[in-house]
Amino acid sequence: MFEKLDVVRMAQALAAHAGARQEAIARNVANADTPGYQALDLPDFAATYQAAEPGAMRATRPGHLGAQDQAFAPILRAAGGSGAPNGNSVSLEGEMVKAVEVRQQHDMALAIYRNTTTLLRLSLGRGR
């Protein structure tokens, strides 16, 4: 019953998006010196979440429901400024800023979980 709350579902999607985006950032950092590597990123969470059909089943990880999750698939990110002479478009400073954004997203999802759990416990009369 409680797993169907919209706020919990949205927090779960936010945490999954943050995890997938962190994976793309880590891949970018790992390939920072690879010639010709183009940086990857994910679309914004709000656009991704709104694009999902309400009530429709959606794969949340590779192999789930026999399909790949297209909402969290990394896409090529447009390079800001000039790239490296070897064709690499990864900026370590930019990746670190994005990693902080992802951390904030994940912390927000955890805060939503925590507060929802607290509200449910209080409504059941179990306190903290």
What is the percentage of the chain residues whose pLDDT exceeds 70?
71
Tally the domains of the chain. Answer: 1
Q: Can you give the pTM of this predicted structure?
A: 0.73
Mean pLDDT value across the chain: 80
Q: What 8-state DSSP symbol labels residue 71?
A: T
Q: Is residue 57 a part of any domain in this protein?
A: yes
- The answer to whether residue 18 sits within a structural domain is yes
pLDDT of residue 110 exceeding 60:
yes
* Cα angle value 110/112/117 (rounded, 5°): 95
Domain membership of residue 117 (yes or no) is: yes
**Residue pair 118/128 in contact by the 8 Å Cβ criterion:** yes
Contacts of 101 (CB under 8 A, 6+ apart): none
Which pair of structure tokens corresponds to residue 10? 């949205």
Please indicate, yes or no, if residue 23 is contained in any of the structural domains. Answer: yes
Q: How does pLDDT run across 114-127, given as a tens digit for each residue?
A: 999 898 889 888 76
The parent domain of residue 43 ranges over: 2-123
DSSP states of 38-75 as a string? Answer: --EE---HHHHHHHSPTT-----STTGGGS--STT--E
128 occurs within a structural domain: no
Angle in degrees, CA 76, 82, 84, rounded to 5: 85
At 118 the three-state DSSP class reads: helix
* pLDDT tens-digit map of 37-84: 989 888 888 877 777 655 555 566 666 654 444 456 667 665 555 667
Residue 108 domain flag = yes
